[in-house]
Structure formats: structure tokens, C-alpha cells
Amino acid sequence: MKDNFNINRFGKLIKKELSERVPMMVKVAAILSLILVGFWLTYTIFKNDPVVSASARVIYLYIATFFTVVMGPFNMYKGFNHHKKGLDYISLPASVPEKFFSMIIVSLIVMPLVVFGSILATDTLITIINPSVFNGFIFIDPSFLNFSSSSLADIIILPLFCLLGNLLYRGNKVVKTFLTVAGAYIVFIMIVAFLFLYVFKDQMEAVQGMQLQFKLTVENLSELYKNEVFEGYPAIKITIAVLAVLYNIGFPVGALTGAYYRMKTIQY
Amino acid sequence: MINIENLCFSYSRHTVFNNINLNLEAGKIYGLLGQNGVGKTTLLKIIGGFLKLKTGKCEVMGFTPFDRNPKFFEDIFFIPEDFVAPDLVVNKYAKLRGEFYPNYDENKFHKLMTEFDVNGNSKFTKLSFGQQKKALIAFALSANTKLLLMDEPSNGLDIPSKAQLRKVISQASNDQSCIVISTHQVRDLENLIDPIIILDSNGVLLNETIERISNKLKFNFSTKPSQDSLWCENSPGGYINVEKNTDGEESRVNIEALFNTTLSNKELIRNIFNS
């Protein structure tokens, strides 16, 4: 067990990783915070009656943080699978699980938190200095921390696939990863469409005959499962449940497992 | 320390090793020689756990390298030919990584850095390639691992540094440790490497100590080529002849001549050393 996971060694690894990667975190946080400052200055100088609502800034905060989560593995561990650059990290006396968890903590948790905190602090500071432009603190805005469990799955799928893509591809990692994710998404949509348009054609026609309105999208698979309209159609209900589990659990777990396996078996 | 049996390895369709066997013991500094592309770096990478063998067995200090056990990595250090340095201050690099090696000696690191005349407070990226390599060698030797794998360690080093390299490697060698040096620059490491391993595309041609080589082969310099020589090489002022040692008289082993002799008389050399 100690060979696989040793808390002291893991602590040393986290300490080493953070010490080495702080400059990159600070750089990214500074750039994204300065964009907000630029936004404020532009509004102050060029607009006659400048007001930037808290909810608009919440959107920027989340987009910037999501961008950081998605790009985290590429920024922090770009050289991991490089034939020469990767040797230093893989030969470090720590186990694969320790390296894997440290990679997740640093790139998918700590770095986004640093960026989130930095933007939030910058926004709060500007709100205090110039409340007429930055109207209201964003952390008291209703849209702040307004998450549903289904949107959480949507949020974590892409970063986990980025973690996998960063380990899987050696060149043009970002492009190849996004193309793969887009391809996987299209295939999944096609499977869903095929099932509902051809396999359950008769049942779906009967459901439509009930004159009920519903939207069939991947995001609302969980809600669709709860929809009473399918109560009389157990096959559809089971299919929706399987698709929802596949999307919300299978994809994230698959991406994580794939990334771990890749890290364990990567050759230089 | 290293036990390789029937090792096979290939890159896609290109076979590098086909059933090679090799045994390396502690307390020695092995010189790994071979032409370009025969697999010297590949062999070091297999031993270091960076490449997975297709079939066969490779056991290093009781570990299977590709399992990448942290205990295994605590006792091995690989110095690649082209070290891609991180954007870090050298001393910080050493301090953060040194914590992972139980026998790491920070004082030794600073002493070696001073000997190599490298400023540890500089970032790797501000140093020349040779200085980066010296810093890495200083760290590798300070980690005091049982096994040290060096791929072309003298490449990129200036003339004084090569002499220092010989000195520090010879000081680092002890009865518990094993050093494997892959090199083309045999003159840089002459008098240091013993035994000599010569690889070719068919496997291990030679794995012998300098003493045994000197017992079996005679290296002499003469003004004319010898009729009985296995290998004769024209050099300024005369000829280097390599002959079968029949009279038991020992001579100084010329590694370059040994390498050429072995490559041009594979079967004969095998028979001489198996007799």
C-alpha cells in the first residue's frame, strides 16, 4: 500500500508541484484579472453612463474560471508525455497514483481556485473604489453559486477530457482534444437520436400524440427520466437512465480512468 | 544488480533487441558502446523504466522497471543525453527533488557545483547546455542512488569539465553502486569504464572486464601493419595492431581499436572470449 500511496511522499510532491508552478498560476491569474481591470477602465473612459451589473461580472468570473480549468492540464503539464521533457517528472520517486492526484489537485483545483480568488478580489476592490461602474458585489448576486447537480456534470466532463487529451496526444494537444471531445459528443447525440427516432419510433409517436411538449437534449437526460410522460414506457425510461448514467458518470469516470491508465503505461 | 534475459524490444516494426542477455553487477562502472541506432539509449531507457519490453525479463535491484515503483526510482537516476531543463533555479530544483531521494546529500551537491563552476542560484534556462548538464550530473551524483545511468555524459562538456567528470564519477563509484555509461566519446572516459559492453544489432557482442580483454587481446603500436592482426588501424606515426594475445603479455587496452576489432570480427571475438 505504501508503495502506491504514501501521505508523506504525496505531501512532498504537492509541495514541489506548487512551488514549481506558482509562477504560471500567478501569470494566468494576473492576465485574467487585468482583463477585468481593462474592462472597468474601458467602461469608465468611453461610456457616458457606465454601469456593469454584478450578474454580467459573475458570467465573466465563471467563464474565466472554466477556461482555466479546461486549459489547466495543458498549461501545467504540457511536457508530461514529451520524450525528453517528461523524463524528469516520471522518474521522480513517487507512485503513479500520487503523481496522478497531484496533477488533478494542481491543474484542476488549485489553479482555478487561484484564478477565481484573484478575479473575485480584483472585482471586489474595483467595486469598493468605483461602485458607480461596478454596481454591487458579485458574491451577493443571486447568480453567484447558482449550480444544479446536472450542470456540475457538464462542467467537469470537459476538464477531465482535457486531462486525458493532454496525456494522450503529444502534439497539437488542445486542437486534437477539442476535436475528439466534439467527435465523441456528436457520436453520443447520434446514438441518442437513433434510439429515439428508430428503435423507439412507435412509442415516441404515441408520446407525441399526447400533445405534450418536451425538449430532448443531452443536458436534460436526468430531467427527462423523471418526466411522467414516459411512465407507461419502461424500455424508454431504462434507455434514458442508461444514457444519463453514461453521460453523467460514465464519461467523467472513463476520462479519469483513461488518464490514469495512460499515465501508468506511457512510454518515453 | 541488473539481470536481463531474452529481452526483445521493437519500435513498431523496427526490431531493436532480439533475445539479448546481460548481467551487470554492483561496484563497477560499465561502458556501453555501440554504433548509432543499435539501441544503447533504448537499453538504458528499458533499465530506467521508461520503455516497456515486449518479451523477456529485465530485473533491476529486484524490481521490474516498468512497474515504476517509487522505491525503485529512489535508487536509480537517469541522465539523458539531451536534458531539457525546467524553468527553475538550479538550487531550488535540487532542493525540491532531493527530498525524494533518501540518500541525497545537499552538501555534496553544493561541493560538486563549485567543482564544476556552475552558479546554483541561476535558472537552468540562463545556463549553457554544458552547464545545465553539469548541474544535472552534480544532482545525480548527490542523490547517491545505487544505479546511475548516463547517456553520453561528456557531450557538451568543455575540456576541463571532462577531466572533472572522470574524477567525480570515479569518486562516486563504490561497492554497492553500479554506473552504466553509454558513450561514443570513449577517449573522454578511458581509464574509467570497466567492464566494456559492446552492442550491435544482433545483441551483446562483448561484456568483459579490461583485465580479461588485456589477457585475451594484445594492443600494440608499430611502424608497419602486423600480418597476424585482427584489426590494423593507420594512425599518425604508425599502426595500431590488435592481435590475439598468445604470449600472455598484457598491454594497454585501446577502447576505440577494441570496438573496431569487435565489430569486424564478431564470431572470432566471441570464440576468443568464450575459450
A182 to chain B, any CB pair closer than 8 A? The answer is no
Q: What is the pLDDT of residue A148?
A: 63
pLDDT digits (tens, 9 = 90+) for B47-106: 999 999 989 999 999 999 999 999 999 999 999 999 998 889 999 999 999 999 999 999
8 A C-beta contact, residue A240 and residue A226: no
Q: What is the 3-state secondary structure (H, E, C) of chain B?
A: CEEEEEEEEEECCEEEEEEEEEEECCCCEEEEEECCCCCHHHHHHHHCCCCCCCEEEEEECCECHHHCCHHHHHCEEEECCCCCCCCCEHHHHHHHHHCCCCCCCHHHHHHHHHHHCCCCCCEHHHCCHHHHHHHHHHHHHHCCCCEEEEECCCCCCCHHHHHHHHHHHHHHCCCCCEEEEECCCHHHHCCCCECEEEEECCEEEEEECHHHHHHHEEEEEECCCCCCCCEEEEECCEEEEEEECCCCCCCCCCHHHHHHHHHHCHHHHHHHHHC
Cβ contacts (< 8 Å) between A80 and chain B: which residues? none
Count how many residues are written for chain B. Answer: 275
Is the pLDDT score of A211 beyond 80? no
Is the pLDDT score of B225 beyond 80? yes
Percent of chain A with pLDDT over 70: 92
| A120 min Cα distance to partner chain B (Å) | 29
pLDDT digits (tens, 9 = 90+) for B103-149: 999 999 999 999 999 999 999 999 999 999 999 999 999 999 999 99
Neighbours of B181 (CB within 10 A): 28
Pick among A3, A12, A87 to test the B interface (most B CBs inside 10 A): A87
Q: What is the pLDDT of residue B36?
A: 92
Q: Report CB contact under 8 Å: B70, A267.
A: no
Average pLDDT value over all residues in chain B:
93
Is the pLDDT score of A46 beyond 90? no
Helix/strand/coil for A193: helix
When pLDDT is cut at 50, 70 and 90, the band that residue A149 belongs to is low
Is the pLDDT score of A213 beyond 90? no
B50 to chain A, any CB pair closer than 8 A? The answer is yes
pTM to 2 decimal places? 0.90
Q: How far apart are CA A53 and CA A48, in angstroms?
A: 15
Q: Report CB contact under 8 Å: A84, B82.
A: yes
**Span A188-217, mean pLDDT?**
77
Cell reading at A205: 409517436
8 A C-beta contact, residue B216 and residue B185: no
Pick among A14, A21, A91 to test the B interface (most B CBs inside 10 A): A91
Q: What is the pLDDT of residue B104?
A: 97
Q: For residue A136, what are the contacts with CB-CB under 8 A and spacing of at least 6?
A: A53, A54, A127
pLDDT digits (tens, 9 = 90+) for A50-70: 788 899 999 999 999 999 999
**Span B212-229, mean pLDDT?**
88
| Residue written as grid cell 580483454 | B213
Is the pLDDT score of B39 beyond 70? yes
- Better-predicted residue by pLDDT, B248 or A7: A7
| B184 min Cα distance to partner chain A (Å) | 20
Percent of chain A with pLDDT over 90: 63
A172 to chain B, any CB pair closer than 8 A? The answer is no
Nearest to A153 by CA among A63, A238, A222, A61: A222
Element (H, E) at A149: helix A149-168
pLDDT digits (tens, 9 = 90+) for B227-262: 888 999 888 888 999 999 888 888 899 999 999 999
B96 to chain A, any CB pair closer than 8 A? The answer is yes
**Span A109-126, mean pLDDT?**
96
Q: Report CB contact under 8 Å: B69, A3.
A: yes
Cβ contacts (< 8 Å) between B70 and chain A: which residues? 3, 6, 9, 93-95, 98
Q: Tell me what ipTM this predicted complex has.
A: 0.88
